[in-house]
Structure 1
Amino acid sequence: MDAPITIEAVDIALILKTLPHRFPFLLIDRVRDIRSDFSGVGIKNVTINEPQFTGHFPGRPIFPGVLMIEGMAQTAGIIGMLSTGETERPTAVYFLTIDKCKFRKPALPGDTIEYHMRLITRKKAMWWFHGDAKVNGNIVAQADIGAMLAD
């Protein structure tokens, strides 16, 4: 394996260039502390003006757990795609698996969710990550996810 690539922060412009997702389904605002294909932290600033809060739930807005899992996957996608190097960068990331998923506490408008992702294993174009979604240092959700990088 090549020497580790370290990227201090990925802003929204590079996220938009790297992932195909767009509003309302782009669920990360920034990724920081990427260390090669090993780990990184995705950032999602939850705001009340997001469309899911009109129905989830009126009078008690809660950020949907499935969207946290998608945020984990998007963070893992950025880590995987950027760590492959500029010349061989894949063009797509596809979900393969979601395992050991647990939702611990609700995330609410005004919260900042941090998706702490670390590589479990990699086999060719398939990657498996463990993710902990945290708000103020407390785990609100966790899962193991698998993805495939493709052209």
Structure 2
Amino acid sequence: MSVLDAAEIMDLIPNRYPILFMDKVDELNPGESIVCTKNVTINEEFFQGHFPGNPVMPGVLIIESLAQAASILILKTEKYQGKTAYLGAIDSAKFRKVVRPGDVLKLHVTMEKQRDNMGKVKCEAKVEDKVACSAELTFIVPDPKKKI
């Protein structure tokens, strides 16, 4: 049973097909941590060119998946409800396992620091409990009245 389904996710973050990389939220502790699922299928558009005959999920899209999970974690806190979280920085990104069609990507995000309209999260994307990607992401939640 999921905590949030795809429709509820789309109520929180602005991402839509083909750039929505989240199927459900499995666990959510607002302001602390989140675990989400991305089912990787051969129907993903990026597999047409990455790589023909050897489909591999691009690392940048794994990072994007983690950023979307982080956005949900951030936007479920009372302070940021109804706003948009933007990715501000990617630190210490490491890719350890290839992600292929048929894999179930589990996205684990933990809040590390939060101050004013910025924060830092620690992330891991796992396939079968093996870390495929890890990174620290910085987010910014700007005042919606100001253009960034």
> Common fold, TM-score beyond 0.5?
yes
Give 1:77's match in structure 2, choosing from 62, 71, 85.
71
Query: Structure 1 vs Structure 2: percent identity of aligned residues?
Result: 36
Distance in 2, Cα, partners of 1:40 & 1:25:
20
Does structure 1 conserve the Cα–Cα contact (< 8 Å) formed by 2:9 and 2:72? Answer: yes
Distance in 1, Cα, partners of 2:94 & 2:122:
12
Aligned 1:82-121 pairs, distance under 5 A: 82-84=76-78, 89-121=81-113
Q: Where does the alignment leave 5 or more consecutive residues of structure 1 unmatched? A: 1-7
Q: CA RMSD in A?
A: 1.2
Does structure 2 conserve the Cα–Cα contact (< 8 Å) formed by 1:28 and 1:44? Answer: yes
The amino acid of 1:44's aligned partner reads K
Which structure shows the higher strand fraction?
1
Moved over 3 A (4+): none
SS in 1 for 2:38: strand
Q: Deviations over 1:79-135 (max 9, x none)?
A: 1101226xx614211111100000001000000001110011001111210001000
Does structure 1 conserve the Cα–Cα contact (< 8 Å) formed by 2:109 and 2:121? Answer: yes
Distance in 1, Cα, partners of 2:132 & 2:78:
30
Does structure 2 conserve the Cα–Cα contact (< 8 Å) formed by 1:12 and 1:30? Answer: yes
Alignment: residue pair count: 142
Deviation at residue 31 of structure 1 after TM alignment: 1.3
Aligned 1:27-106 pairs, distance under 5 A: 27-84=21-78, 89-106=81-98
Q: Where does the alignment leave 5 or more consecutive residues of structure 2 unmatched? A: none
The amino acid of 1:83's aligned partner reads T
Q: Deviations over 1:28-77 (max 9, x none)?
A: 11112111211011210000011000000000000111001001010010
The amino acid of 2:120's aligned partner reads W
Distance in 2, Cα, partners of 1:30 & 1:149:
23
Distance in 2, Cα, partners of 1:59 & 1:92:
37
Distance in 2, Cα, partners of 1:34 & 1:127:
17
- TM-score between the two structures when normalised by the length of structure 2: 0.92
Does structure 1 conserve the Cα–Cα contact (< 8 Å) formed by 2:12 and 2:82? Answer: no
